[in-house]
Amino acid sequence: MTHSPRSSRAGGTLGQACAVAHPNIALVKYWGKKDGGGNRPAVGSISMTLNGMATQTCVRFTGSGGDDRIRLGGAEADANTHRRVRALLDRLRRYVPDAGAAEVESVNDFPTGAGLASSASGFAALLVAAEAALGLRLSEDERSCLAREASGSAPRSLYGGFVEMSTGQSPDGSDAVARPLLPPADWPLHVVVAVIREEEKEIGSGEGMRRSFATSPYAAAWVSSHPADLVEAREAIRHHDFSRLAAVSEASCLKMHALAMSARPGLLYWRGATVEALHEIVALRRGGHEVFFTVDAGPQVKAVCTSEALAAVRERLLSIAGVRRLIVCRLGEGARLLAPEEPCAGGRDVRRKVNQ
């Protein structure tokens, strides 16, 4: 898309900035892209931004030529990550042609590429840091569009709490943006993440979506049934109706994985412990605990629950063979710049590393 001239320099010189962003989990799932470019989602989505996991990213523009230097978790980024990061930086450099090469250092304090939305938090943090380092002032819609072009779920991590991502109607994608629905403090739910496999998944989400829409007989039904799910989830969130949100979230999760499994060849992101965890969560709910499950494109299970159910959910999930560890989260805030005195994610001082 062509971004509007509302973007402007803030008046400062090129510099360095660091940002933090949190991953999000979709309750009404995003799976599939529209034709025509721009990385526009085929369906809308509603998500929760989590506070128990974080990406911290520092960006410095050199003002001189050369290649971008991109490091993730202390190592040089692989070719695909380097390509995607550079594409976002190039879009921002259109506003500042003399920005030169960038030095990027990013670290996650949770598994990368394993179905925990590391691309969402990663590109949200990258965008916020790079914008500040370039001295730009982008509108909210411009940030959302730029984040979306890098990762379809990244616009949701720009905001905290419950967030909705729209497919948009404009041919240029300018209205395919994220909007906050409910601040984190307004419905203080917990999310217990059962980490089952920490390695990167074999088939990434982008390829999984492409394959699903190209080969699954269920793709059209997935798209046509989605608007009703969005309405149902929106109303459940507005009224703080846990049972209603549980029903639509689990249905959306199972529909998405049915779509992925029915691709050719099929996409089976789950492991044995994934299925066991789903059964345990359903059993807990039948026993009177307010909890429901959701699973993104990976084996990790997210149990959304109330404070009263938290202890029981933790105990039951830890008892499952194959669950390596738990990450307990609450709803978190959106992406933001880091102050110089703030501690670094994962114990790494990326502020120093970006200048080495």
The answer, yes or no, to whether residue 199 has pLDDT greater than 50, is yes
| Buried b or exposed e, range 128-145, using 16+ CB within 10 angstroms | bbbbbbbbbebeebbbbb
Q: Flag the least confident range among 37-51, 131-145, 173-187, 330-344.
A: 330-344
Sorted by where each begins, the domain ranges of the chain are: 8-353
**The pLDDT value given to residue 116:** 65
pLDDT at 346 over 50: no
State whether the Cα torsion 29-32-34-39 is positive or negative: positive
- pLDDT at position 233 over 90: yes
3-class SS at 143? Answer: helix
- What whole-number percentage of the chain has pLDDT above 90? 80
Residues 51-91 have pLDDT tens digits of 989 999 999 999 988 899 999 988 899 999 999 999 999 99
Whether pLDDT at 341 is above 90 = no
Interacting residues of 102 by C-beta distance below 8 A, sequence separation 6+ = 59, 60, 61, 62, 68, 69, 70, 89, 130, 133
Structure tokens at 259: 């779509």
Q: What is the CATH number of domain 8-353?
A: 3.30.230.10
pLDDT at 231: 98
pLDDT of residue 113: 61
